[in-house]
Amino acid sequence: MLTLSWQVLGREYSIRGEISDETYLNFKKALAENTTDPITRVYLNSSGGAFFPAIAIGRLIQTHQLDVEVGRYCASSCANYLFLAGKTKYLNRRSLVVFHGGMQQDNMFQQLDHLIRYRQNPLGEKDYEGVVFNKPINREIALDIGIEDLFKQRDPASIYRDLKWIEDSYFLSLGIDPLITVYGQRGNYYALYHSKRFKGFYYDLASFKAFGVQNVKVKGGKWRPWRGDKYNKFYPVTVNTQHED
């Protein structure tokens, strides 16, 4: 049986699995075609995927003021850019929202510099943090988010600066502190992150608020996130209201 990575059911749009260029293009098309009975909610069950389409999807969710609902999990770029863009963010009792990096992480420039200079891994593959760089960027996506000139220069420092600007601008538009993607890698959590025993980290509801994440609601009772299994473990991160860089 074929499992769709996207589907429209009534006024809900479902995004499942890997986030790719096609995920964004299909979502954009569905929003344009469903104007009489418009989509109002996006259901998320994704382990993440490519940076650029995820940012583009998040912008559409924000622009159309769509609610989001997390099924079992929303991780990596799904957490960073789709979940946080929702007008109201619904969690089920066992939903897990996993963060494990972004453009703010301490080793991001070194990773990007190595990737570009030595081509040890082709652009487009995932690294440990789940960050994906596409080359070439889909032209329609590049035009939609205004980055068509991003890779015309090959200087790693300039590319990193532009990627960080894209992410910073996105979080600024949401009113959310961009450190949300990396807080669990630093300070008291540095050793846990660098142990490589975990696939990511998650926040409690109060910590979401500390970063500026608003309108998070839990369906069906108290939120008790799934903590993973022996192959996919995640650790909880608690943020003080006066969190520091």
| Structure token digits, residue 220 | 């069906």
Q: Kindly list the distances between the CA atom of residue 106 and the CA atoms of 112, 175, 183, 184, 234, in Å, as whole numbers in the listed order.
A: 12, 22, 11, 12, 20
The predicted pLDDT at position 9 comes to 59
Overall average pLDDT of the 89-118 stretch: 80
* R_g (Cα) of the chain, nearest Å: 17
pLDDT (0 to 100) of residue 204 = 95
The reported pTM is 0.86
pLDDT of residue 245: 47
* 29 closest CA partner among 52, 46, 6: 6
Is residue 242 pLDDT above 60, yes or no? no
Q: Distance of CA 113 to CAs 128, 185, 196, Å?
A: 16, 20, 22
Specify whether the CB–CB gap between 116 and 156 falls below 8 A: yes
Domains and CATH numbers, the chain: 6-101+177-237 (3.90.226.10), 108-173 (no CATH)
The pLDDT tens digits for 173-230 are: 999 999 999 999 999 999 999 898 898 999 999 999 999 999 999 998 899 888 777 7
* pLDDT surpassing 60 at residue 5: no
As a whole number, mean pLDDT of residues 59-63 equals 97
Q: Residue 2 pLDDT > 50, yes or no?
A: no
Q: How confident is the model at residue 241 (pLDDT cuts 50, 70, 90)?
A: low
Give 129-182 pLDDT, tens digit per residue: 445 454 567 889 988 988 766 656 557 777 778 888 899 999 999 999 999 999
Residue-level pLDDT at 130: 47
* pLDDT score of 3: 40
pLDDT in tens, 11-36: 899 999 999 999 999 999 999 998 78
